[in-house]
Amino acid sequence: MESRRRLGIYLRKDRATVVCLAPQGGQARLLGCFSLDLTGEDAPSQQVLADRIAQTCAERGLKFSESAVALDCALFMQHKVHSEFADYKKIAATVRFDTEEALATDVSDMAVAFRIASKDQTGAGLDVFTAQRSILSDILLSLRSNGIDPVAVCPDVSCLSKYLEMHDASDDAGRVHALLSDTRGYLIGPQNTDGGSFMRAFPVGPSQDRKALLVREALITAAVSGAGDSSPRLCVLDVQNGLTARDLGQKVPFHVEDCDLTAVRVIDRGELTDCSNPVDFAIAYGAALPESERDKGANFRNDHMPYLGKKLRLERSVRSLSISLTLLLLACGVYAQSRLMLVNRYRAALREKLEPDYLMVMPGEEKLPDAMRGASQKLASALRIIIAHKSGVGADQGTISAKLTLVLQALNACAAQTDLNIDTVTLSAANIVISGDTSGRPSTLRVFDAMEKAGLARKKEGYVEKGGRDTFTLTVEPKK
């Protein structure tokens, strides 16, 4: 379960609120939270704040695999920018140019994040956030030195909007949330048909009339966001002066209700004893929630010091797997080669042992026959030759001398009339092969007839005219 835990950190100049969540049944379960305040300490810095965050997490046993940072609104600027595109990838590729054109200033030293607020036929309306790269680098390097590498750095108002999404979805009527922290104010409008919402963050001075400020900003937000179209509601929370819906009911022309941030996510108030500010807690909680497709552009790390933690872990895993597979294949190859060498050595020894006994029937350089039937026929043929040479065949015409006598009688009977020349006479246990030539085709046929008259049956014959002579090859055997 630790591998899926996520830490949300809301960072201000000298304060931090930390929330640790774990997934549970499609929801998030609060594992712990705390606030840190360096006000009054000498030279507070992001490094000191990061050291205290890591130390407190270790003391409380808060273990996590991922972290995300909510950036305080005093550290970034928010702008309204129009894009000619409605597709996320095209917007991400051109948002810097659109921002530069809208602000008429160079943004090379700034990191740019955005959120799609609305879409129409001409493109998309964007909430664009810009932050100094030096500030982001200071935050990321301070956290990284303590083993915390955030996957996302998002505006605090975007994280607060994620926290309130469940509250918006629980009622059909659109709500405008007006939340006042100690020195920060947030206005979150209801979601429109494109899934976007009006959201704004602004500083609150210590001498300002918080009630008048809240009324003025709520009216403007309700008008801009379109919440006045049907039964608008204003959810109010002031963590410092405790303004309630009753205080504002006479000042705005729509229904006002008190906002209970703990009820939005069904959180026990007793779990917030270490978090003095519920608005800061909600922002840190929203940072700990996973990013949705709609909010993935509102991440400053897409433009500045992109997060490479997952990529590096994947590359290390692939490298380790590749090395392991290579070693495994080498081991398999060595094992297979050793087995093959052992079999070849055994086969060579067996051949050397059996070769003297089977030399007479071994095919030598010829390939072994494919079928057992062919091997049997070759062995039977070899056996007949051996028997014929050693003992002969019982009948007179079956002996070598009897066969040769029949051939000579036939040749002598026709030699003078056919101008016969004999090249070779090959005798075997079964056949006699005679090759030669005569003066012409009639003479060759007369030789064939002489063989039959002598008691030899023709099995195979062939002849061809060459150089004025008729060359022939004749295979005969004694008649049965």
In SS3 terms, 94-159 reads as HHHHHHHHHHCCCCCCEEEEEEEEEEECCEEEEEEEEEEHHHHHHHHHHHHCCCCCCCEEEEHHHH
429 or 353, greater pLDDT: 353
181 or 169, greater pLDDT: 181
* Per-residue pLDDT reduced to its tens digit, 2-49: 668 899 999 998 899 999 999 877 788 899 999 999 887 777 788 999
Residues in the chain: 480
Residue 441: predicted pLDDT: 86
| Mean pLDDT for the stretch of residues 182-202 | 82
Burial of 255 (C-beta count, 10 Å sphere; 0-12/13-18/19+): middle
Residue 368: predicted pLDDT: 54
Using the Cα atoms of residue 196, residue 261, residue 279 and residue 144 in order, give the sign of their dihedral: negative
For the beta carbon of residue 460, count every other beta carbon within 10 angstroms.
10
pLDDT band at 261 (very low <50, low <70, confident <90, very high): confident
pLDDT band at 150 (very low <50, low <70, confident <90, very high): very high
Is the pLDDT confidence value at 398 over 60?
Answer: no
Is the pLDDT confidence value at 377 over 80?
Answer: no
| Mean pLDDT for the stretch of residues 334-347 | 89
Residue with tokens 């026959």: 369
Least confident of 203-207, 392-396, 401-405, 456-460: 392-396
Is the pLDDT confidence value at 394 over 50?
Answer: no
* Per-residue pLDDT reduced to its tens digit, 222-257: 666 555 455 567 888 888 877 777 777 777 777 888
310 or 275, greater pLDDT: 275
Residue 371: predicted pLDDT: 59
CA–CA separation, 450 vs 372, rounded Å? 41
Q: What is the mean pLDDT of the chain?
A: 83
Residue 435: predicted pLDDT: 87
191 or 51, greater pLDDT: 51
pLDDT band at 381 (very low <50, low <70, confident <90, very high): confident
DSSP secondary structure string for all residues of 193-212: TTS-EEEEEEE--TTS-HHH
374 or 123, greater pLDDT: 123
Residue percentage of the chain with pLDDT more than 90: 28
3-state secondary structure of 293: coil
Q: Note the pTM of the prediction, 2 decimals.
A: 0.65
pLDDT band at 70 (very low <50, low <70, confident <90, very high): very high
Residue 155: predicted pLDDT: 95
Residue 221 to residues 145, 184, 192, 244, Cα–Cα distance (Å): 41, 16, 13, 19
| Mean pLDDT for the stretch of residues 358-366 | 62
Residue 16: predicted pLDDT: 94
Least confident of 289-293, 320-324, 401-405: 401-405
* Per-residue pLDDT reduced to its tens digit, 75-130: 999 999 999 998 989 999 999 999 999 988 888 899 999 999 888 888 999 999 99
In which order are the strands placed within the sheet that holds 175-180?
A: 197-203, 184-191, 175-180, 233-238, 255-258
CA–CA separation, 418 vs 411, rounded Å? 10
pLDDT band at 197 (very low <50, low <70, confident <90, very high): confident
Is the pLDDT confidence value at 287 over 90?
Answer: yes
pLDDT band at 165 (very low <50, low <70, confident <90, very high): confident
pLDDT band at 168 (very low <50, low <70, confident <90, very high): low
Q: List the domains of the chain with CATH numbers.
A: 2-307 (3.30.420.380), 363-390 (no CATH), 396-478 (3.30.70.60)
Kind of pairing between the strands at 152-155 and 66-71: parallel
